[in-house]
Structure 1
């Protein structure tokens, strides 16, 4: 019964969707309209100066954009030493769950997903925002039905990075972190390109490109790799452009890594789908 459910502001919390060290995400309903939303609760007492800066960036960016491939921010309010972000609820869950349920996807599906994530990243690029935590868990699907719309979410580690500037904070999720971050080096927006490559690789293979028990082991595996560890049986089925894009996104040297502009112009993303509307 609704009376037994906790309420925050104008919302009734229905279930917990996830969370981290300083935040929690709830599925919630507006008590008057019944609108279903995702409510991100951020504990202000647990925010470091760095995380407070990231939160400011997240709020500023999300409140200024409206794009189908970026999670929508509807409202912000404060209560109980927390700030609450009222966000669009995505019924399809996240891309990590999608990969767990479906396994590796067909190349045409991976291409459609890359185009959508790329469209979202274009908005970040226009605002000089780097995400720094792109991973399947932070890519949400609008629906569980056929042909979902993908939305980039969780900008809790994002920051403004103007052209020619560099960042140095070590952050992100190790399986999707660029090697320059793992090596505690200065970095630019190409760290998001590495993460995008790791997502593409995982879509095609069903597992991340580089794994390990620790960040040190992951970095060692990256450096020891002579070629990407594709699942051998699928390689003959992949378009050469697909393998090329994946390899260029996952270039260890950021100078040689493909830029966002080059990603958008890559021929793999321009392959005609032949009018197929059945989502492969």
Structure 2
């Protein structure tokens, strides 16, 4: 056994390998369960940084949320451990990259392929809602693909639990990525988490089929105006069914949009 193997780092029963991702508050490393040989993703957070940037509540929420969810199209949380200085989150290792990269590299998708991803997304989101969890930042960068091309929702850092709903039955935190955010989230009068997630699913479906965003502008105020007025055009190659579904989801009228959201999200899979 050489010296490098002897000093191989371990966290609990996990042998830690190369870095596979790095963010502001976390580093993600490839690791292997020494008991089963199963590969995992090890998310390492620095406690000092987390406290300094007042991220403790968000991290707690992400962990609490992921513990509630066990679904084939959601990245699985296996366990959480901590040392004096670090928090270790052991996650399912997903090898196929981001759906975002697939769109950037391959361009728009054929309708059958887009439909498959959309159905997997909607099934997973519907399941999350049934557990009282709203993601609030659904976008292709947060959708991973496994080795078999199945979609996996990741990054619940901005998710809201139903306990955060105020007395008016609405959420009040503006968050998410502007191009994918529902108009009611932007107008700051409270919004329904499930309906807001559904809007993001509609934007994702459009991106899969068109290869570009329905609402886009370098000026943020102009972008908000386009989203609030539902100002977008469907490309001519979209089928009538896809156009109808996207138009139904991306309806900026809060009343009709809300009514659409109150219908079981899972039903969308069968209308498309």
**Structure 1 residues 136 and 35, CA, compared in 2 at 3 Å: closer, same or farther?**
same
**Structure 1 residues 193 and 22, CA, compared in 2 at 3 Å: closer, same or farther?**
same
**Structure 1 residues 181 and 16, CA, compared in 2 at 3 Å: closer, same or farther?**
farther
**Structure 1 residues 222 and 3, CA, compared in 2 at 3 Å: closer, same or farther?**
farther
Q: Which sits farther off after the overlay, 211-220 or 49-58?
A: 49-58
Paired with 1:66 and 1:223, the residues of 2 have a C-alpha distance of: 34
Write the mapping of 1:205-216 to structure 2, written as runs, cut at 5 A: 205-213=210-218, 215-216=220-221
**Structure 1 residues 217 and 27, CA, compared in 2 at 3 Å: closer, same or farther?**
farther
**Structure 1 residues 214 and 34, CA, compared in 2 at 3 Å: closer, same or farther?**
farther
Question: Are the aligned partners of 2:69 and 2:131 in contact in 1 as well (CA < 8 Å)?
Answer: no
Question: Are the aligned partners of 1:111 and 1:269 in contact in 2 as well (CA < 8 Å)?
Answer: no
Question: Are the aligned partners of 1:51 and 1:157 in contact in 2 as well (CA < 8 Å)?
Answer: no
Partner of 1:204: 209
Structure 2 residue 246 is matched with structure 1 residue 254: no
Instruction: List per-residue Cα deviations over 1:44-103 (Å, max 9, x = no partner).
Output: 334479843343333223223322111111111113533221111111111111212221
Normalised by the length of structure 1, the TM-score is: 0.81
Paired with 1:24 and 1:81, the residues of 2 have a C-alpha distance of: 14
Q: How much has 1:10 moved relative to structure 2?
A: 4.1
**3-state DSSP of counterpart to 2:255:** coil
Q: Which sits farther off after the overlay, 195-204 or 152-161?
A: 152-161
> How many residues are matched?
262
Structure 2 residue 39 is matched with structure 1 residue 36: yes
Please, which runs of 5 or more residues in structure 1 have no aligned partner? 272-280
Q: How much has 1:209 moved relative to structure 2?
A: 1.4
Paired with 2:54 and 2:131, the residues of 1 have a C-alpha distance of: 20
Q: Which sits farther off after the overlay, 250-259 or 85-94?
A: 250-259
Paired with 2:171 and 2:222, the residues of 1 have a C-alpha distance of: 23
Instruction: List per-residue Cα deviations over 1:184-227 (Å, max 9, x = no partner).
Output: 3311121111111111010001112112335434213324654x
Structure 2 residue 107 is matched with structure 1 residue 113: no
**3-state DSSP of counterpart to 2:206:** helix
Partner of 1:264: 266
Partner of 1:245: 245
Paired with 1:30 and 1:219, the residues of 2 have a C-alpha distance of: 46
Q: How much has 1:171 moved relative to structure 2?
A: 1.6
**3-state DSSP of counterpart to 1:256:** helix
**Structure 1 residues 193 and 213, CA, compared in 2 at 3 Å: closer, same or farther?**
same
Paired with 1:195 and 1:5, the residues of 2 have a C-alpha distance of: 42
Partner of 1:63: 67
**3-state DSSP of counterpart to 1:245:** helix
Structure 2 residue 11 is matched with structure 1 residue 14: no
Write the mapping of 1:18-167 to structure 2, written as runs, cut at 5 A: 18-31=21-34, 33-47=36-50, 51-79=55-83, 81-143=85-147, 145=148, 148-161=149-162, 165-167=169-171
Question: Are the aligned partners of 2:136 and 2:159 in contact in 1 as well (CA < 8 Å)?
Answer: yes
CA RMSD of aligned residues (A): 2.7
**Structure 1 residues 71 and 137, CA, compared in 2 at 3 Å: closer, same or farther?**
same
Please, which runs of 5 or more residues in structure 2 have no aligned partner? none
**Structure 1 residues 5 and 133, CA, compared in 2 at 3 Å: closer, same or farther?**
farther
Question: Are the aligned partners of 2:25 and 2:49 in contact in 1 as well (CA < 8 Å)?
Answer: yes
